[in-house]
Structure 1
Amino acid sequence: MTDTEPKTLQKQLDQNLAIIKQRFHHTTDLKIRDIQAAHLKASIIYIDGLIDSKRLQESVIRPVLHMTPVERELVDYVATQVIEAPDTSTAYEFQELSSGLVEGKAVLLFEGYAKAILTDIAEWKERSLEKPISERAPRGPIIGLTEKASTNINLLRGMIKTPDFCVDTQQVGILAKTNVSILYLSGVVDQQVLQFVQKRLNHLNVKYVTESRIVEEALEFSKSIFPLSQTSERPDSIASSLYEGRVAVIVDGTPRAVIIPSLFTDNLQTPDEYHTRYGRLTNRIIRFIGLLLSIYIPAIFVALCNFHQNELPETFAKVLIPKGVLLNPFFEMVLLIFIFRTMIDIAFRLPQSLVILISLVGTITIGDSLVKVKLTHPFALVSVAITFMLTFLVLNKLVAAITTLRFSFLLIGAFLDFTGIIVGTTLVIIYMAQLKSAGVPYLSPLIPCKPKELKDTLIRGDLKKLLNSEHSYLREDNG
């Protein structure tokens, strides 16, 4: 748009068409269909590929071609009584027309009228509903979100059948507008959390939004290795969070919802736990122990090798610290962690047909070769393998925190022994205790302790009591 270009529509049809073509830089998929509406010349404008051609023909073109001349205001008459589409509006400015066209609307202009009709006949391409990829579960619904926000909201409305389910959609972006929808249950949602989300999104000033991570960073407010917001592609998990008084944010084009507030104990939960009796007392405790071991095993191994060789039983010491290995325990751990981390990264990016082959070649060939050339020994290899296996218990949620803490404690264990590990753990707990998600303490309901909320933390309590309980959050306005 140039400074000399008019902002409002003109009465000359050709002038309006020229301005619209200029705004879209004469792109070839901008289509203009000239028609005769009663006694006036008219044009229908749309972007090819975004609209449903059949609906355009049946709801707009055919009724307008068969309309009879009227004495009253033509544009309002056509919009209210001629066009047969459910979503029709009028506009006076070129900016409204441009926004409507890129959203899949058809624009109808008449000669002699500085007013346009916008009709929503969009036909967006989207994939069919599929199983969640990153949140697989043996029990529960098997439908995941798609890239289309309206489809995702439709899925949630199918689960949350109440008029209290509210959707607040706003457009974010300067260069290109993207629909961002705030979802919550009126009367259930924590009002201060809702106000926090609305305030943060209102102040989100970016050129464009292509990924929900941009919204996540805005809602997390402060930088941390721990996730201060959580994402989910499962409608049942999102619905459960809304029932608990949380807020979900869906970005059009992203098959995930951002849920806030996010608490540490959320990382120990899985969706299938609410669909089965098995493991409600042990599953989360096992994951918590696995989380700790995936962080501390390398540090404990190095600390034992460096500071406690003489204190270990002779048989155990021979297995733990064999002679003739080229690398000392610290660099041995660093090398193995680097190799395992690289193999995981490769497995995620290779074609699926090659994943099994590369995994077998990598684990057998590289592992066997490292032992034979005396760069490492079997016990260290097994320790790192167990470490990474346990990481997969909570990999999708805490991968950044686990990776950072694992290497940090590895350094501490190599130079400061178990005393340093204990001090470091204390500092991490203090650090986590001061973290807040939307003003809610990250370690809540453990720190500060809320006994009534503990029934759904390290154990999963009785479902009837969980469903009927009222959730509340200790929060602090951090703006």
Structure 2
Amino acid sequence: MEVENIPSDLATPLHKDIDQTIENVKSILGNSSDFVVREFKIGSTQLVKVALLYMDGMASKMFIQDYITETLMIDLRLTDLPTGNNADSSGKGSSPNQGNVRKKAKWIKPKVNPQESDLFKVMKDQTLANSEVEECKDYQELFSFILAGDSIILMDGYETAFAIGSKDYESRSVEESSSTTVIRGPKEGFTETLRTNTSLIRRRIKDPNLWIESKVIGKKTQTDVAICYMNGIVSDKIVKEVKKRLDAIDADAILESGYIEEYIQDYPHSPFPTVYNTERPDAICGGLLEGKVAIIVDGTPFVLLVPTFIVDFFQSSEDYYQRADIGSLLRLLRYLGFFLALLTPSIYIALTTFHQEMIPNQLLISLAAQREGVPFPAFVEALIMEITFDILREAGTRMPRAVGSAISIVGALVLGQAAVEAGIVSSAMVIVVSLTAISSFVFPSPDLSSSIRLLRFPFMTLAAMFGLLGIIIGAIIMVMHLASLRSFGIPYLSPMGPLILQDQKDAFIRLPLYRLSTRPRLMNQKNIVRENTDKPSPNRK
């Protein structure tokens, strides 16, 4: 059959001629090998030609066989069989299987006879038992359904088709989060399937005020994106701003949540992340209960959370699963690790280059002896070691897991020892770089660690040029930049800048849970009370 009038605009309505519609779909898909067409006829006295369309590998063949083709080819054909003299109520017929078939026909017979009513209405209201049945009227809707894993039913003589939910593509099961691990706490992590991720959230927050809205972003990828928030807790302005930024995205492809993050972040040129991402459902639920908005993207296990503050990157879900004193200690260690990872090489360069008088005599003599054969200044020495370690870390990340960690450890030890023996770097510099590297791994979020890696080099340059004065100047510039940042209208340094005393109970340290009775004040003002729980006291009577 010649293909005529192939629609150039996908908004063109479907053709009444089923053969023409099938040929148009095949041509638009380029006769793709994974496109399946199953043609058959339904009805008993008045046969109607029907075609079932689906993509192999994305739709469930078992579901199609049991709930679509069997229903249409057998059950619907039997609905208008007479139940009087032509069918023996005892189940006996002219053939061994006829009696059983007629028993089944009598049991499923609908109230409406397809011969006396419109076949389309009978199929929609009585025959198709699937909970996901939608009408499809043009090629745009047809491809949006079929390329998502649904099945399409075309009927000859009708311009409207049925879209049956039959998605069954391969997906990863729920596993432990690989980027954020905890000793105590849930081990579940998000997957690449959108509905699995929303179910992990609903499992923890069983409240009807948990609202989830869906969008489709990406002209070519048609990626499903879900916006999740707690109605009555979240600020309406934040929700409106999130929807506005998502609706403004006009891109061909959204392959991962990082695409969304880059489009909606407030300051794309800032080294500090203004959108939080995590694989942990409990961390997302904690943010939702504070009045934040989660953005779930199909195809990635990393869920976005906005607005975001600088303190969020120092907090871990495990802080709330341990005692308050232990959680506070761990959080203070992360703040200490931030300054060590950022400033340790710079301080070493400044002290050994400009401020030798600040170093104790014995230590100064030891450092001078170690650097006696090193041909480079401290800045070049630190630069070489930092770049070398970053290369080793990237190599260990990209290499196969079986050898990645071993190569990183052996490479660091061998190169460090060989560099010291060759007189390229001093032993003290190896210690400084090692301490810096270890400190950069204490943060629950890898995004902040990447920011520190980027800022470390400007601080080293300032220290080499101006000593401790350069470090102070760099710190002032960094704090001024942080104070100017906002995440969806909320100050990035909150609750330190502006200073909010009632929110300090969960900033640098964590007070006991019964003291965390209010939500962050800048997030919303309509539902700020989290709980009214007094301190538990044992009955000593």
- TM-score, length basis structure 2: 0.85
Which amino acid in 2 is paired with 1:408?
A: P
Match of 1:282, SS state, is helix
| Alpha-carbon distance change, 334 to 45 in structure 1, aligned in 2, over 3 angstroms | same
Q: Which residue of 2 aligns with 1:437?
A: 487
Q: Of 280, 289, 311, which residue of structure 2 is paired with 1:265?
A: 311
Q: Which residue of 1 aligns with 2:331?
A: 284
1:387 matched to 2:439? The reply is no
1:64 matched to 2:111? The reply is no
Match of 2:58, SS state, is coil
Which amino acid in 1 is paired with 2:320?
A: Y
CA distance in 2, matches of 1:70, 1:13: 21
Q: Which residue of 2 aligns with 1:202?
A: 247
Range that drifts further, 75-84 or 229-238: 75-84
Q: 1:462: Cα distance to partner?
A: 1.8
Q: Which residue of 2 aligns with 1:312?
A: 359
Aligned ranges for residues 305-454 of structure 1 at < 5 Å?
A: 305-310=352-357, 312-322=359-369, 323-394=372-443, 396-454=446-504
Q: Of 91, 116, 123, which residue of structure 2 is paired with 1:78?
A: 123
CA distance in 1, matches of 2:7, 2:69: 32
Which amino acid in 2 is paired with 1:198?
A: K
Q: Which residue of 2 aligns with 1:457?
A: 507
Q: Of 51, 57, 64, which residue of structure 2 is paired with 1:43?
A: 51
Which amino acid in 1 is paired with 2:72?
A: V
Which amino acid in 2 is paired with 1:462?
A: P
CA distance in 2, matches of 1:237, 1:386: 29
Q: Which residue of 1 aligns with 2:256?
A: 211
Aligned ranges for residues 171-190 of structure 1 at < 5 Å?
A: 171-190=216-235
Q: Which residue of 1 aligns with 2:172?
A: 127
CA distance in 2, matches of 1:429, 1:81: 66
| Alpha-carbon distance change, 35 to 187 in structure 1, aligned in 2, over 3 angstroms | same
- List structure 1 segments (4+ residues) > 3 angstroms apart after TM superposition: 1-6, 310-313
Q: 1:152: Cα distance to partner?
A: 0.5
Contact 1:85 1:121 (8 Å CA) reproduced: no
CA distance in 2, matches of 1:89, 1:6: 17
| Alpha-carbon distance change, 172 to 356 in structure 1, aligned in 2, over 3 angstroms | closer
- What RMSD in Å do the two structures reach over aligned CA positions? 1.6
Q: Which residue of 2 aligns with 1:297?
A: 344
CA distance in 2, matches of 1:321, 1:329: 11
Q: How many residues align?
A: 474
Q: Of 246, 270, 281, which residue of structure 1 is paired with 2:292?
A: 246
Match of 1:179, SS state, is strand
Contact 1:42 1:109 (8 Å CA) reproduced: yes
Match of 1:100, SS state, is helix
Contact 1:145 1:256 (8 Å CA) reproduced: yes
CA distance in 1, matches of 2:523, 2:368: 49
Match of 1:250, SS state, is strand
Q: Of 51, 58, 61, which residue of structure 2 is paired with 1:53?
A: 61
| Alpha-carbon distance change, 56 to 268 in structure 1, aligned in 2, over 3 angstroms | same
| Alpha-carbon distance change, 153 to 20 in structure 1, aligned in 2, over 3 angstroms | same
Contact 1:190 1:245 (8 Å CA) reproduced: yes
Between the aligned residues of both structures, percent identity stands at 29
Which amino acid in 1 is paired with 2:374?
A: V
Q: 1:181: Cα distance to partner?
A: 0.4
Match of 1:279, SS state, is helix
Structure 2: unaligned runs, 5 residues or longer? 1-5, 81-113, 525-541
| Alpha-carbon distance change, 353 to 28 in structure 1, aligned in 2, over 3 angstroms | same
Which amino acid in 1 is paired with 2:510?
A: R
CA distance in 1, matches of 2:382, 2:304: 35
Which amino acid in 1 is paired with 2:245?
A: R
Match of 1:118, SS state, is strand
| Alpha-carbon distance change, 401 to 83 in structure 1, aligned in 2, over 3 angstroms | same
| Alpha-carbon distance change, 6 to 96 in structure 1, aligned in 2, over 3 angstroms | closer
Q: Deviations over 1:250-272 (max 9, x none)?
A: 00000010000110001111111
Q: 1:474: Cα distance to partner?
A: 6.3
Instruction: Give the structure with higher Rg (CA).
Output: 2
Which amino acid in 2 is paired with 1:151?
A: T
Range that drifts further, 270-279 or 245-254: 270-279
Q: Which residue of 1 aligns with 2:27?
A: 22
Which amino acid in 2 is paired with 1:332?
A: E
Contact 1:178 1:252 (8 Å CA) reproduced: yes
Q: Which residue of 2 aligns with 1:97?
A: 142
Contact 1:319 1:379 (8 Å CA) reproduced: no
CA distance in 1, matches of 2:251, 2:9: 26
Q: Of 34, 38, 48, which residue of structure 1 is paired with 2:39?
A: 34
Which amino acid in 1 is paired with 2:258?
A: R
Contact 2:14 2:137 (8 Å CA) reproduced: yes
CA distance in 1, matches of 2:40, 2:345: 74
Match of 2:467, SS state, is helix
CA distance in 1, matches of 2:337, 2:224: 39
Q: 1:129: Cα distance to partner?
A: 1.1
Q: Which residue of 1 aligns with 2:518?
A: 469
Contact 2:284 2:305 (8 Å CA) reproduced: yes
Q: Deviations over 1:5-57 (max 9, x none)?
A: 88001211111111111121111111111111111111111111111112112
Q: 1:364: Cα distance to partner?
A: 2.4
CA distance in 2, matches of 1:5, 1:185: 37
Q: 1:311: Cα distance to partner?
A: 5.0
Match of 2:225, SS state, is strand
| Alpha-carbon distance change, 140 to 87 in structure 1, aligned in 2, over 3 angstroms | same
Which amino acid in 2 is paired with 1:405?
A: L
Q: 1:240: Cα distance to partner?
A: 0.5
Match of 1:321, SS state, is helix
| Alpha-carbon distance change, 474 to 253 in structure 1, aligned in 2, over 3 angstroms | closer
1:230 matched to 2:282? The reply is no
